[in-house]
Structure 1
Amino acid sequence: MKFAINYFPADGLAPDRLVAYARHAEDCGFEGLYLPEHTVLYPGAGYGSFEIPPSLPYPDPLDCLAFAAAATRRILLGTAVLLLPYHHPVVLAKRLATIDVLSKGRMRLLTVGLGTLPGEAQAMGVDFNTRGRRTDEAINVLRLLWQGDEKGVSFDGEFFGFDHITSYPKPHGVTHLPIHVGGSSRAAARRAGQRGDGYFPGGALTPEERAAQWELAKIAAVEAGRDPGALEYTRWGTIDMSAEQVEDLAAQGVTRIMVAPSARELEQQRDEMSAFAERFSLSAS
């Protein structure tokens, strides 16, 4: 089992705090550091009955990851989730490859999702109802640009199009970066199987629905001619979870668990990370 840590600057973005957090996570032995994304918020935005405070700080996750990478050596960089419909894939391909090169191959936990806030889509000039198709196309564009050579590549899609273009630098030592798919719907599970390198479900799903979605992702992979055994399966855990809970997730096929500290103060967060790492012998893994 692999273990990763989430970072969310609930009290604002402090560069020294981000660096200290990332370095401690790396020293503890966590595999990866994840950040979430919202491009904009607005009064009334939320998920179900939960309303997001419009002043809640959501810094750009890729800029934060590049900053953290400069202060660390090993920890992988991830997003949970990057709202792919709100990024132009031609620009994004270069940004991600650049971070991967500068970090010597650590931009490897990219997780993308559709977003659930209609006002966010409107602000970005995206038709909310096309998010799924736009995301599918963007994934194809990203991989095409990363794999293309000096002769250039072309694409003619519903949302994006270009002729004989090149995109450099390339990802560090690989033909393309892994793209995991996040979401809480069966459509997200199918997308993960058809196009993703892994699935990261979220939301308040029942155990039965989670199992059904994971099975659906594997079925979709087979139908697309892909190897379902190559799919990684990431799930949320808690910072105080037990070994028995980890074993139960492993039995469900989970390959990575992401946790987040429950404390708000940095020193308490560090203590929680250290206790988790000791409990699961992360530094020795």
Structure 2
Amino acid sequence: MKFAISYSSPYQGVDPDKLVAYAQHAESCGFEALYLPEHIVLYPGATFGAGELPPTLPYADPLDSLSFVAAATHRILLGTGVLLLPYHHPVILAKRLATIDVLSRGRMRLLTVGLGTLPGQARAVGVDFSTRGRRADEAIDVLRLLWAGGEAGVSFHGEFFSFDDLCSFPKPYGTAALPIHIGGSSRAAARRAGKRGDGYFPGGALTPDERAAQLDLARSTALDAGRDPQALEYTRWGSMELTREHVEALAAQGVTRIVVAAASTEPDEQRDEMSAFAQRLGIPAPAAIPAPSRNPRP
């Protein structure tokens, strides 16, 4: 089982020192990755689930924040939970993601994308809310095409995106394409994960029966698409109070990664929570980072 942690700027604050300290301690505890959420804009009356989102919540841009974190850490992988893919142009996004991956030496590896549930966000960026699923599917195809393309360029002609002979460099660090995980709490998201995703990361408000049905759907869709259903990673939200027994039960359900978040907003208490979680579940601490050489390059 892999363990990752999320940082929510709306509730933790957009403070550079606090964000870096959170990420660095997570890394020292052995957490695999740091996840950040996205809301492009908010507005009065926007709701998530049964509650209203205060429009002043400071959602920092996740990719800019992860790039900032990458410069202050060494090993921790970078993730989004979730990036609202229909509201990003994939030609620009391909460049941004590959750049972060290169500068972090291959750590932009837990990109999770979703559709978003706020119609006002779609209106704000000129996207028809009803088309966001088809737009996301095309965007995934465009991202992978651009990352794989060479100096001769690649072309694409779809419903939403169209171009000829484009070259997108730099490429991701040491790989032909970055993994793309699919987030969401619907059967459509499960099918998208099976057909196009490298992993599935469902939301939290699902019954056990619906969770199992969606995972089965993702795997059967992968099989129908000629893909290996067992290669599909399965990520779930978890609590900082998880025990070894809880983790074993999740593993029996096929879960391969658990993402938790510190309950406290106080840095000292957050560090204590992370340390206690890592110790309780036996997460191995990473080896010491060697000091950088002071010798100039030849």
TM-score (norm 2): 0.94
What is the identity, as a one-letter code, of the residue corresponding to 2:271? R
What SS class does the counterpart of residue 122 from structure 1 fall into? helix
Q: Partner residue of 1:71?
A: 72
Report matched runs for 1:1-285 at 5 Å.
1-9=1-9, 10-284=11-285
The alpha carbon displacement at 1:257 in A equals 0.1
Q: Distance in 1 between matches of 2:135 and 2:86?
A: 6
The alpha carbon displacement at 1:12 in A equals 2.7
Q: Distance in 2 between matches of 1:11 and 1:191?
A: 31
Q: Distance in 1 between matches of 2:76 and 2:12?
A: 24
Q: Distance in 1 between matches of 2:80 and 2:121?
A: 18
C-alpha deviations, 1:7-59, integer Å up to 9, x for none? 01215311011110100000000000000000000111112321111111100
Q: Distance in 2 between matches of 1:277 and 1:128?
A: 41
Q: Distance in 2 between matches of 1:186 and 1:33?
A: 26
C-alpha deviations, 1:131-157, integer Å up to 9, x for none? 000000000000000000000000000
What is the identity, as a one-letter code, of the residue corresponding to 1:25? A
Question: Is the CA contact (8 Å cut-off) linking 1:11 and 1:57 kept in structure 2?
Answer: no
**4+ residue runs of structure 1 moved beyond 2 angstroms?**
none
Q: Distance in 2 between matches of 1:64 and 1:192?
A: 26
Q: Distance in 2 between matches of 1:47 and 1:59?
A: 18
The alpha carbon displacement at 1:234 in A equals 0.1
The alpha carbon displacement at 1:203 in A equals 3.4
What SS class does the counterpart of residue 100 from structure 1 fall into? helix
Where structure 2 has 5 or more consecutive residues not aligned to the other structure, the ranges are 287-298
Question: Is the CA contact (8 Å cut-off) linking 1:29 and 1:277 kept in structure 2?
Answer: yes
What SS class does the counterpart of residue 34 from structure 1 fall into? strand
The alpha carbon displacement at 1:264 in A equals 1.1
The alpha carbon displacement at 1:283 in A equals 2.5
What SS class does the counterpart of residue 108 from structure 2 fall into? coil
Q: Rg bigger for which structure?
A: 2
Q: Distance in 2 between matches of 1:127 and 1:221?
A: 28
> RMSD in angstroms over aligned alpha carbons?
0.8
Q: Distance in 2 between matches of 1:194 and 1:282?
A: 32
C-alpha deviations, 1:155-212, integer Å up to 9, x for none? 0000000000100000000000000000000000000000000000003100000000
Q: Distance in 2 between matches of 1:203 and 1:42?
A: 24
Q: Distance in 2 between matches of 1:40 and 1:176?
A: 29
Q: Distance in 2 between matches of 1:197 and 1:152?
A: 25
Q: Distance in 2 between matches of 1:203 and 1:115?
A: 15
**More displaced stretch, 29-38 vs 9-18:** 9-18
* Residues 122, 160 of structure 1: alpha-carbon distance in 2 compared, 3 angstrom cutoff: same
The alpha carbon displacement at 1:284 in A equals 4.5
Q: Distance in 2 between matches of 1:44 and 1:283?
A: 44
The alpha carbon displacement at 1:87 in A equals 0.2
Q: Distance in 1 between matches of 2:77 and 2:13?
A: 23
What SS class does the counterpart of residue 63 from structure 2 fall into? helix
Q: Distance in 2 between matches of 1:17 and 1:50?
A: 27
What is the identity, as a one-letter code, of the residue corresponding to 2:6? N
Q: Distance in 2 between matches of 1:141 and 1:214?
A: 26
